[in-house]
Amino acid sequence: MNDFLSSLKIAASGLHAQTARMRIIAENLANADSAGKTPQDDPYRRKIPTFKSVMDREIGGETVKIGRIAYDQSNFSERYEPGHPAANEQGYVKYPNVSSLVESMDMRQAQRSYEANLNVVMVTRQMLGATLDVLKG
């Protein structure tokens, strides 16, 4: 019985971590075109979630948690938009270092990881139910 509960707790930690990851990816996508207000302002900088494993003494195993949020230090993109309020003297505006393609791929991977953890929860619940049925009978 304890193994079932351990499996549920480990899978639940994965669900929470992937949910947090998807929120960060969604924030990156939402700000992909957010330029600064003035030429001196930097635009939105892409966030990168990290994960850490945490020993759970109660279950005797490791769970996963969202770690620190890192910032992508790659260069901002620039577009020639001389009429924009954030344009520099040459007419270029700095835009976030967010690639919609990369974020979409990361989101897909996070969704698949989430689904895998959800499947573990569902199968574990089914096995727990079947075990209880055997014990009753």
pLDDT in tens, 44-66: 999 999 999 999 998 888 999 99
Please list, in sequence order, all residues whose beta carbon lies within 8 angstroms of the beta carbon of residue 52, skipping any fewer than 6 positions away: 64, 65, 66, 67
The secondary structure of residue 104, as a DSSP letter, is H
User: What's the whole-model pTM score?
Assistant: 0.87
Q: Is residue 89 part of a domain?
A: no
Query: Percent of the chain at pLDDT above 70?
Result: 99
Domain count, the chain: 1
A 10 A CB-CB count for 137 gives: 5
Residue 125 resides in a domain = yes
Question: Would residue 107 count as lying in a domain?
Answer: yes
Task: Assess if residue 80 is contained within a domain.
Answer: no
Q: Does residue 21 surpass a pLDDT of 70? A: yes
- 38-60 CB burial, b ≥16 within 10 A, e <16: eeeeebbbbbbbeeeeeeeeebe
